Amino acid sequence: MTDSVFTRILRREIPAAIVFEDDQVIAFMDAGQVNPGHVLVATKRQVETVMELEEAEAAHLFAVATRIAKAVQAEFQPSGLTLLQTNKPDGWQTVPHVHVHVLPRHADDGVGLVWPRKDPPLGELQALAERIHI
């Protein structure tokens, strides 16, 4: 796997405004700053998708993302907050390295996330649920 931009940030080859770092994750300001306080929380281990993480790694990633979200809420006082984790290009992932966006939101900030509702009947939902084995 080619090094991601996040791996290069971890090696300090690319400068970043780091918010938090421990042995498993790094959190830094998104260079794109959709809104002030937009933070990315990324694993230090470079894997492309959340499906490649061990449960403990995923738990830690989301625990830190939650801590960052609380800090962003306290400091920037947005009227909303979106935590977004995407996987693979068709899932809107743009950097092939697991990360969570902590995105402060405001009314009319221009950010959109929409999808068409299909509203299948309950029987179809139940059949889909039976296909998922954990």
Residue 55: give the domain boundaries: 5-130
CATH number of the CATH domain containing 90: 3.30.428.10
Two tokens at 91?
A: 């899932």
pLDDT tens digit sequence for 30-87:
999 999 999 999 999 999 999 999 999 999 999 999 999 999 999 999 999 999 999 9
For the chain, the straight-line distance linking the first and the last C-alpha, in angstroms and rounded, comes to 28
What confidence tier does 114 reach under pLDDT thresholds 50, 70, 90?
Answer: confident
The span from the CA of 79 to the CA of 4, in Å, is 32
Q: Which of 130, 75, 134 is nearest to 102 (CA)?
A: 75
Q: Is 60 a catalytic residue?
A: no
**Residue 12 burial (C-beta neighbours within 10 Å; 0-12, 13-18, 19+):** exposed
pLDDT for 2 beyond 90: no
pTM: 0.94
pLDDT for 118 beyond 90: yes
Q: Which residue has the higher pLDDT, 133 or 1?
A: 133
How many domains does the chain divide into? 1
pLDDT for 14 beyond 90: yes
Sign of CA dihedral 84, 113, 16, 80: negative
pLDDT tens digit sequence for 75-108:
999 999 999 999 999 999 999 999 999 999 999 9
Question: Catalytic one among 99, 101, 106, 133?
Answer: 99
What pLDDT does residue 42 have?
98
What confidence tier does 115 reach under pLDDT thresholds 50, 70, 90?
Answer: confident
What pLDDT does residue 29 have?
98
Two tokens at 45?
A: 């281990």
